[in-house]
Structure 1
Amino acid sequence: MNQLEALLSANDDNLLTLLSSLCQGSIAIDQFCKIVWISDAYREFLALPPDKELRGVHVEEILPSTQLPRVVQTGQPSFLDLMQINNQWCAVTRLPLKNPDNSVFGAIGFIFYHDLDALQPLFDKFARLRKQLVSQNLIRTSKYALDDLIGQSEPLLKIKRQALRAAQLDTTVLLLGETGTGKELLAQGIHNASPRSSGPFVGINMAALPESLVEAELFGAAAGAYTGASRQGRQGKIQLAEGGTLFLDEIADISPAIQAKLLRVIQEREVEALGSNRLEKVDVRIIAATSRNLKQQVDQGLFRADLYYRLNVLPLNLPPLRVRSSDIPSLSHYLLDKIQQETGLPPLQLSPQAIVWLQEYHWPGNVRELHNRLERACVMAEQDQITADDLGASEVTEIPLSEPSPKKQLHKQRDQAELSAIHHALQQCQFNKTLAAEYLGISRATLYNRLKRLT
């Protein structure tokens, strides 16, 4: 008989009756995560036969998604969580059972599956408290500041110093760097450190917008400008950013027509809504970002040179994660705390081997990939520490570098020649893709497909 069984045996009538009356179902497990006791109500809720012997069965055999083993491993409670059991959402509470020396000898879980609407006042109270804190300026209304760039490596400290200096100047900033390096975080940090911090920060991902909607989304639309347009018209993102900062992510993806209109905004500080013949003055600071080589796009005729030079006033190059590996331990602990707070999971630490693997991995997806791997590990870890395998180390295979074959070299030369011809045609036709396609003797769709494949 283990310690929990002895405790339950000594207090059989009183303790079990009390547990059953406190909730709509309860279960207790020992330090090996095996069931020691389950209430009749919980058994009935799980549709288990009343004569099925459950004592000694591992809890995950009847509750595959349970977090009770995590509570046993970490010794940390989970006071309120939502869990789906038998296709029904339940409110659950999980508590560790500890000895006087703080060692864990089991855990107990309670479920409530009737009248979950009764929890709504709790959520409402939390929302009111948060709103009050915002109004009293006790929490930031903007999401990120420069201090949210975690690390002390020289490449990161350098970019933070550059960003702080750029924040004091009311001029255009161009953020360059690989995908996942934190360009939007840096953009918000610059905004919050600037004299415009009290104004709005409006971000838009240009690559995520269909080409047909970009103009209205960015510059706004006059009443009745197009079928389905609002009778009152609509403000664009530029107007919404009045007095603050406009962040244009993936700037390399905008069409030549939009490039021309954006150039006017930067040069003249005025905007013309779609379907309007009236120019409206705007006061915005523009921060643009791209993971592509924008200068190369200019050389290839895919991006206007005059707009590039207007955007490239203050270029900031974010370092990839692999060149600041000394930041990875502190960054990982910060992200783990954030993930565990958002998910309500008990805290888990990284094993020494996991930290070594994190620092040796090449991180093609940078900080975004690090966050995703840590989030998966928080869910999948079965020990009291996160291991390298929990992070997906066993799935990673290095691609050997080798010299390209003559056949691959021929394909590369052919692609380069084809791309050069397309760029020449675009320049000859003032970047009008329909005319460029006619010039080349191909369809407009073929031109788009080849541009997409070759760039």
Structure 2
Amino acid sequence: MNAFGQSVSLEDLLSGQPIDQHPFELLSGLCEGAIAVDANCRIIWISPQYRELINIPKDQDLIGTPIDKVLPTTQIPRVVKSGKPTFVDLMQIHGRWCVVTRMPLKDPNGKVIGAIGFIFYTDLESLGPLFDKFARLKRQLEQQKLIRPSRYGLDDIVGQSDIIQQLKRQARRAAQLDTTVLLLGETGTGKELLAQGIHQASPRSGGPFVGINMAALPESLVEAELFGAAPGAYTGLDKCGRKGKVQLASGGTLFLDEIAEMPLSMQAKLLRVLQEREVEALGSNRLEQVDVRVIAATSQDLKTLVDDGKFRADLYYRLNVLPIKLAPLRERNEDIPLLCSHILNIIQQQAQIPAPELSETASNWLINYPWPGNVRELHNRLERACVMAEGSAIEPGDLGAYDDLPSIIPLPNAPTELINARRDADRHSIAMALEKTGGNKSKAAKLLGISRATLYERLKKCQEIISADNNHTKMY
């Protein structure tokens, strides 16, 4: 039944015969091209404008042709499988960017019987005034402080495990104490997310949150970026100077990620900020008072760096007032199903594509995988899977489950073999890291992206497994 009360069946559409004023013809007049498919993603109708856009001759019959044969990159099959529309997406057709919308077709009972895609704009330059207007309105709202840049709260930390609940309790207590916090955890465990959550739960939530990654900052720029530069500090031509991240964060929170990468020469200046609440800009001889709370984070063992003379002991003890440790994902794998659901929803919203479900085999693999890259790696693998999945569900292969396994390890065919393969891969990775570093455990741990304590734990488990295997062999 169309919008005019006319009944149009799929059989009528699949017949390819002209239908007076059927809904597709009426809707195509409102856009620059449209195409419709049935539940099997076979083309049931295409407008003349769409034919012209994809260079299909008028006399070529496309009815019944799978749409991916004509448009290999189309997302319409995902709309059919999910039953969810994708609004205002960008699609490139023969090197030309188009604004498209895709909608499922459903029968009176709500069953998906196909989908239709519309091209609304083929000239993106015509949308320039709209984009400019949106940008102006956003800047105006920000200036009037009617909206704020997006911030994460502690409730945005996903997980129901005891470890996560304890982490949130610690963070809430730390938020109420206006003192320095040190976040400890492997790469990808969500240290910045926790830092923003602490800021949002603190009395400083109305102030700015300014974050900087010390590992991504060239040493020559550290001083100016952190502490600012006086007028003319560089060339003598800059009459205004510039504020550093410390000054910009005044009244709020300064987040220093990968603090272990801060040059020794700058650590003394940071110590002054923490102890005296004052900062001296590059090229200036004047001290400026600042009111800032510092949250630092590192994936390295700061105490070891202090012992090695690579980090100031006085700064370490000044930072280590309220240490909070974030557990790696492998220690809270009961949170993985909830994290997967959350991340897939984010990917769907950002990419405007229906995210496929996880198969049972894929879910089992995700739960048993050791996750050296933690939540960041989980997000990356799920994002990859949403692109690579060709079936109705994500399978282990779509997640790259077999990419990292050494060639000497057979591919697993069952969950129990998957666990054994993971164990063997872990042992192989540790052995390779120790070989490359000449047996230096600290360097091996850094190469693997884990802490030295975690490496010792894994070595102990490997030794226990070897001993168990040897005892098992002796029985026979």
Tell whether the structures are fold-level matches, with TM greater than 0.5. Answer: yes
Structure 2: give runs of 5+ residues left out of the alignment: 1-7, 406-421, 444-476
Identity of aligned residues (%): 63
Q: How many residues align?
A: 414
1-side partners of 2:84 and 2:303: how far apart?
Answer: 52
Query: Structure 1 residues 410 and 279 mapped into 2: Cα distance closer, same or farther (>3 Å)?
Result: closer
Matches within 5 A, 1:26-425: 26-116=34-124, 119=127, 141-227=149-235, 230-397=238-405, 398=422, 399=425, 401=427, 408=435, 411-412=438-439
Verify the 8 A CA contact 1:142 1:192 in the aligned structure 2: no
Shift of 1:93: 1.5
Higher mean C-alpha displacement, 384-393 vs 131-140: 131-140
Whether 1:4 aligns to 2:10 is: yes
2-side partners of 1:134 and 1:223: how far apart?
Answer: 28
Higher mean C-alpha displacement, 281-290 vs 8-17: 8-17
Structure 1: give runs of 5+ residues left out of the alignment: 417-455
Verify the 8 A CA contact 2:97 2:123 in the aligned structure 1: no
Shift of 1:413: 6.8
SS at 2:90's partner residue? strand
Residue of structure 2 equivalent to 1:13: 20
Higher mean C-alpha displacement, 117-126 vs 344-353: 117-126
Shift of 1:372: 1.2
Higher mean C-alpha displacement, 121-130 vs 281-290: 121-130
1-side partners of 2:237 and 2:251: how far apart?
Answer: 26
Partner deviation per Cα, 1:165-200 (whole Å, 9 max, x = no partner)? 111111111101000000000000111111111111
2-side partners of 1:379 and 1:51: how far apart?
Answer: 34
2-side partners of 1:21 and 1:404: how far apart?
Answer: 65
Higher mean C-alpha displacement, 375-384 vs 268-277: 375-384
Residue of structure 1 equivalent to 2:454: none
2-side partners of 1:169 and 1:288: how far apart?
Answer: 15
Shift of 1:133: 8.8
Partner deviation per Cα, 1:48-92 (whole Å, 9 max, x = no partner)? 233333223221122111011011111112232111111111111
2-side partners of 1:339 and 1:409: how far apart?
Answer: 37
Query: Structure 1 residues 130 and 279 mapped into 2: Cα distance closer, same or farther (>3 Å)?
Result: closer
Query: Structure 1 residues 409 and 194 mapped into 2: Cα distance closer, same or farther (>3 Å)?
Result: closer
Query: Structure 1 residues 176 and 345 mapped into 2: Cα distance closer, same or farther (>3 Å)?
Result: same
Residue of structure 2 equivalent to 1:441: none
Verify the 8 A CA contact 1:142 1:188 in the aligned structure 2: no
2-side partners of 1:313 and 1:126: how far apart?
Answer: 44
Query: Structure 1 residues 133 and 373 mapped into 2: Cα distance closer, same or farther (>3 Å)?
Result: farther
2-side partners of 1:351 and 1:408: how far apart?
Answer: 37
Verify the 8 A CA contact 2:152 2:193 in the aligned structure 1: yes
Query: Structure 1 residues 411 and 125 mapped into 2: Cα distance closer, same or farther (>3 Å)?
Result: closer
Verify the 8 A CA contact 2:382 2:399 in the aligned structure 1: yes
Residue of structure 2 equivalent to 1:24: 32
Shift of 1:392: 2.1
RMSD: 2.9
SS at 1:51's partner residue? coil
User: TM-score normalised to the size of structure 2?
Assistant: 0.80
Query: Structure 1 residues 413 and 39 mapped into 2: Cα distance closer, same or farther (>3 Å)?
Result: closer
Query: Structure 1 residues 370 and 191 mapped into 2: Cα distance closer, same or farther (>3 Å)?
Result: same
Partner deviation per Cα, 1:373-417 (whole Å, 9 max, x = no partner)? 122222332333333332222324242526969x9599447999x
Query: Structure 1 residues 105 and 409 mapped into 2: Cα distance closer, same or farther (>3 Å)?
Result: closer
Query: Structure 1 residues 412 and 378 mapped into 2: Cα distance closer, same or farther (>3 Å)?
Result: closer
Verify the 8 A CA contact 2:25 2:47 in the aligned structure 1: no
Residue of structure 1 equivalent to 2:411: none
Verify the 8 A CA contact 1:4 1:106 in the aligned structure 2: no
Residue of structure 2 equivalent to 1:438: none
Question: In structure 2, what residue type is equivalent to 1:187?
Answer: A
Query: Structure 1 residues 414 and 248 mapped into 2: Cα distance closer, same or farther (>3 Å)?
Result: closer
SS at 1:14's partner residue? coil
Higher mean C-alpha displacement, 57-66 vs 388-397: 388-397
Query: Structure 1 residues 396 and 128 mapped into 2: Cα distance closer, same or farther (>3 Å)?
Result: same
Higher mean C-alpha displacement, 311-320 vs 49-58: 49-58
1-side partners of 2:436 and 2:143: how far apart?
Answer: 62
Higher mean C-alpha displacement, 357-366 vs 95-104: 95-104
SS at 1:239's partner residue? helix
SS at 2:240's partner residue? coil
2-side partners of 1:68 and 1:368: how far apart?
Answer: 29
SS at 1:70's partner residue? helix
